[in-house]
Structure 1
Amino acid sequence: MERKYWVPALERAQDVLQLVAEQPSRLRLMDLSIATGINKSTMFSLLHTMETLNWVIREKGDTYVLGSFFGVIGNAYFAGMSLVKLFEEKATRSVERLGETFQLARLEKGELVYLAKKEAPAQVRLISEPGMRLLAYATAMGKVLLSALEDAQVLALYEEGSYHAFTPKTVQSGEELLEQLRMIRKQGFAVDQEEIVLGFCCLAMPVVDRNGKWIAAVSCSMPVHQWTQKQELAKEEIQILTQALSATVPL
């Protein structure tokens, strides 16, 4: 991995946390200093900071265990995995009813990260696969999640003049993108009409957690010749699916 922008303090903190996780309630400051090669004064500062952040807890015998922060992070991580499993389970009905492919993705900065896909039998497969990343402004799921951000936040994600045209119908500027996002906010869903791949259209809606945060999106993609016939049914199925996922997302 490129170490040009490496932060040594984070690496040292990870080494300490790894040891504490492997040997809870057994290691004191001096033990951790010897095991990592970090001098005592630096180790004192690291542990004090991590204790303040609830990364570690110092026990009565001056040994350490992991703090509550990692319980929160762990729950968030496994909630994400649970969402994928729920999608795979509940999307089966939608795929069977509509005969088209459904997908789940989340937003990471300016990119859409695909989490899961439930495919319908078809001669032509979609390019997306779990783990794949695409520029969010060119996709229905990406645009619906971008619509939850402030305009200034959206513009900061993409350098003006650098919008990549996947097809002649792809968004070409920040102003064009913001105009689309305003419409998405009003209607509650986003569409991609041959903006990422010619010959395919897509409709997407958000998955919302119990705090009202838009944490992911679900879409249905189909060949353009099916769009007029199936658009409304796709909207209905996605709404059912996103509501089912939103209702079961853990806090």
Structure 2
Amino acid sequence: MAMTDQYTLKTLSNAIDVLSLFEREHSLTIKEIQQETHMNRTNLYRILYTLRSRGVLEVDPQTGEYRLGMKIIHLSSLLLQRLDVKTIAHPYLCELRDKIYETIHLVVLSNNLAAFVDKVVANEDINMGSYIGWTAPLYSTASGKLLLSSKEDEHINSYINKTDFKKFTDCTLIKKEVFIQDIAKIRKQGYSIDAEEMVEGLTCFAAPIKNHREEVIAAVSISGPTTRMLKNKEKILKELLNNANNITESVNKTPQGTV
């Protein structure tokens, strides 16, 4: 069993201990789980009930044995997908950078934030503040708005209602009705624009990467000074959309692309 310290939640730690047993075994009975973990039977029942109710564990109705549930499979597939798309996309991001000579990002959705998982730098005339591992609000970034626009209306409305729209610049979309209009526009045109909504003087364009089910799994973006981005908008958008399509094709040629 894992060591604990003053910051560890014992119940959560015990639940992780239970899940760790399935690294070695495909299925286990309650008796086997208790023998391995030495937990109090009542506490173990509560943990197993909770894990079952959240889809993390499943129980075979005939044998009574527990096994990993679909929630674990889903989360694992998301992790593999994100790792795969970064590996596959990187050379394409470099290629796009060399064609446009602006900074390129690869962004995924993470807990209703835009998570920047790759960055290829060219001219960085403006301090973007971005780095690999950085997270930013969905509503104020081109990639974030694009990723959000791919979700169902119910999800988008829930996000809007729960989000405190902070004003980063004079151009940040803080009026919710204006933001909804922008999401509709993104859906129609197939790409997103951050017009100095996060950083003054910085404009970004973003395009989607999709899996074989046509679900948006990531976004590729180009960021640069507004004057240069708008001057070369037509060329930039053409190269961006072509690049995102090429990454999509490569992702879906791999076994993981069928996840």
What is the TM-score normalised by the length of structure 2? 0.78
Q: Which amino acid in structure 2 is aligned with residue 143 of structure 1?
A: K
Question: Which residue of the partner structure matches residue 254 of structure 2?
Answer: none
Question: Which residue of the partner structure matches residue 39 of structure 1?
Answer: 40
Aligned pair partner of 1:12 in 9, 14, 23: 14
Contact 2:124 2:224 in 1 (8 A): no
Task: Write the deviation string for residues 102-124 of structure 1: whole angstroms up to 9, x where unpaired.
Answer: 11112235321111111114444
Structure 1 residue runs of 5 or longer lacking an equivalent are: none
Distance in 1, Cα, partners of 2:247 & 2:190: 16
Q: CA deviation at 1:215?
A: 1.4
Contact 2:143 2:192 in 1 (8 A): yes
Partner SS for 2:87: helix
Distance in 2, Cα, partners of 1:65 & 1:31: 12
Q: CA deviation at 1:148?
A: 1.9
Question: Which residue of the partner structure matches residue 156 of structure 1?
Answer: 158
Question: Which residue of the partner structure matches residue 192 of structure 2?
Answer: 190
Distance in 1, Cα, partners of 2:223 & 2:78: 28
Distance in 2, Cα, partners of 1:160 & 1:16: 34
Partner SS for 1:138: coil
Distance in 2, Cα, partners of 1:188 & 1:73: 27
Q: Which moved more, 1:229-238 or 1:153-162?
A: 153-162
Partner SS for 1:195: coil
Q: CA deviation at 1:155?
A: 3.2
User: In the TM superposition, what are the counterparts of 1:114-129 in structure 2 within 5 Å?
Assistant: 114-129=116-131
Q: Which moved more, 1:228-237 or 1:105-114?
A: 105-114
Q: CA deviation at 1:99?
A: 0.5
RMSD across aligned C-alpha pairs, in angstroms? Answer: 3.5
Rate the CA distance shift 1:24–1:64 in 2: closer, same or farther, 3 A: farther
Distance in 2, Cα, partners of 1:27 & 1:185: 46
Partner SS for 1:192: strand
Q: CA deviation at 1:173?
A: 1.4
Contact 1:155 1:174 in 2 (8 A): no
Distance in 2, Cα, partners of 1:146 & 1:51: 29
Task: Write the deviation string for residues 150-202 of structure 1: whole angstroms up to 9, x where unpaired.
Answer: 44432322348932110001002110100111111111111111111011111
Rate the CA distance shift 1:231–1:209 in 2: closer, same or farther, 3 A: same
Task: Write the deviation string for residues 43-65 of structure 1: whole angstroms up to 9, x where unpaired.
Answer: 4676688789684788xx99987
Contact 2:194 2:204 in 1 (8 A): yes
Q: Which amino acid in structure 1 is aligned with residue 245 of structure 2?
A: Q
Q: Which amino acid in structure 1 is aligned with residue 187 of structure 2?
A: R
Question: Which residue of the partner structure matches residue 241 of structure 1?
Answer: 243
Q: Which amino acid in structure 1 is aligned with residue 96 of structure 2?
A: S
Partner SS for 1:137: coil
What is the TM-score normalised by the length of structure 1? 0.81
Q: Which amino acid in structure 2 is aligned with residue 222 of structure 1?
A: G
User: In the TM superposition, what are the counterparts of 1:143-222 in structure 2 within 5 Å?
Assistant: 143-159=145-161, 162-222=164-224
Distance in 1, Cα, partners of 2:196 & 2:220: 18
Count of matched residue positions in the alignment of Structure 1 and Structure 2:
246
Rate the CA distance shift 1:112–1:69 in 2: closer, same or farther, 3 A: closer
Question: Which residue of the partner structure matches residue 91 of structure 2?
Answer: 89
